[in-house]
Amino acid sequence: MLQQLWTESTKPKSLDSLDYHSEISEILRKLAKNSDFPHLLFYGPNGAGKKTRVLAFLKEVYGSGVYTVTEEEKEYKINETSNTTTSCTVLSSKFHIDVAPSDADHHDKVIIQKLIKEVASSHQVNSKQTKDFKVVIINEVDNLTKEAQASLRRTMEKYIERCRIILICESLAKIINPIRSRCLLIRIPAPNQTQVAQILDKISTQYNCKISQQLINKIAIASNGNLREAILYLQSTRVNNTCIKDDQNIGAQEWKIHIQQNIVIPIIKNQLVETMKEIREKFYQLLVNCIPVDRIMFEMLQGVLNQYKDHANKTILYELIKSTAKCENRARQGSKGIVHLEALAAEYMTIIKQFA
């Protein structure tokens, strides 16, 4: 029998049980007490707890029934004159639905229009325990096409009496202004190292893991504020179901090792056209395996900063960070990730040649 992931089994299910960002929990608690609340947009880095907070908020609004969900594959016609369809996976409870329309690529607009219309048209039983509207959770809204976002904006206005929309994304950079202006923006920062370590300590006690504070701190550092990753690290390094050794390695993910060995090291060693040609193929391997461009850039930056952190000329660190921020911002605005990754590699080479 497969062991349940600790990321799921230890996930808090109420605002009171959340371990950090208590000030945000208080805001959500006040919103839940009102008879009405606006469309919401939760944004922040991966593993910060955005979705966990959304569901805890909905539990505060509707009760524990939000965790009783069914999964369904829904199909929608692209247009009335064609039999071509697009589909998406929908999780639904009596009170809300949960969907990621961006999975349908360029048909995301169709899913947004038809799914929200369908939800708004359905009758919500009104009682003292429920609101007279349903909630639609849209994940990865920053990956929606501009056409889908424009459609979402119109839909938000049209059906506001019948449904509320909660959007979840990593960055606001790709969200059009008309959507931002129609939502209450709630930023969920990543937990700090101390907060991650405290949660890992609590989980290790819950599962009777014998683990030192030293190793907990190592995992907290390796996770870079991604609590989901930290908990997976903890579960994956467990030995014999009882004890974790102090000297045990924190297993780096294969794609991160790939970036350091096949991209960062060649950039540092050889600032040549031939090097650019070699690492282009390495970038494609990462993109084909669905590693996000911003995560690749982050790991590249970590690698070069570690290499030059003790360099006498600290200007190199500033220039590396500045170039990464510039390329990441351009990548969020654009669509061809490979172009921006190559641009960042070229910038690193120029900076290293000039300052190293």
CA distance 315 to 192: 27
Q: What is the DSSP string of 24-71?
A: HHHHHHHHHHSS----EEEE--TTSSHHHHHHHHHHHHH-GGGG--EE
CA distance 189 to 1: 36
Q: Which CATH class is domain 254-355?
A: mainly alpha
Residue 33 phi, psi dihedral angles, 5° rounding: -75, -20
* Three-state DSSP class for residue 164: strand
**Which pLDDT score, from 0 to 100, does residue 199 have?**
94
173 close to 332: Cβ distance less than 8 angstroms: yes
**Which pLDDT score, from 0 to 100, does residue 127 have?**
47
Q: Which two tokens stand for residue 32?
A: 């839940």
CA distance 316 to 111: 47
**Which pLDDT score, from 0 to 100, does residue 345 have?**
94
Buried b (16+ CB within 10 A) or exposed e, 165-200: bbbbbbebebbeeebeebbeebebebbeeebbbbbb
The amino acid at residue 229 is: E
Q: According to the CATH classification, is domain 6-187 in 3.40.50.300?
A: yes
Q: Where exactly are the structural domains of the chain? A: 6-187, 193-236, 254-355
CA distance 22 to 26: 6
* Three-state DSSP class for residue 135: strand
**Which pLDDT score, from 0 to 100, does residue 35 have?**
72
**What are the pLDDT digits (tens) for 209-236?**
888 888 888 889 888 889 988 888 888 7
250 close to 218: Cβ distance less than 8 angstroms: yes
In terms of Cβ atoms closer than 10 Å to its own Cβ (0-12, 13-18, 19+), residue 100 is buried
CA distance 144 to 10: 30
**Chain-centre distance for alpha carbon 89:** 18
pTM for the structure as a whole: 0.76
* Three-state DSSP class for residue 207: coil
> Alpha helices, DSSP H only, in the chain?
6-9, 22-33, 50-62, 108-121, 146-158, 177-180, 193-206, 213-222, 227-236, 254-259, 265-269, 273-288, 293-308, 315-333, 337-355
If one counts every other C-beta atom within 10 angstroms of the C-beta of residue 229, the result is 18
CA distance 122 to 155: 15
* R_g (Cα) of the chain, nearest Å: 23
pLDDT lower than 70: segments of the chain: 1-3, 105, 123-131, 238-253, 335
Vertex 195 angle, CA 189 and 198, to 5°: 155
CA distance 213 to 169: 33
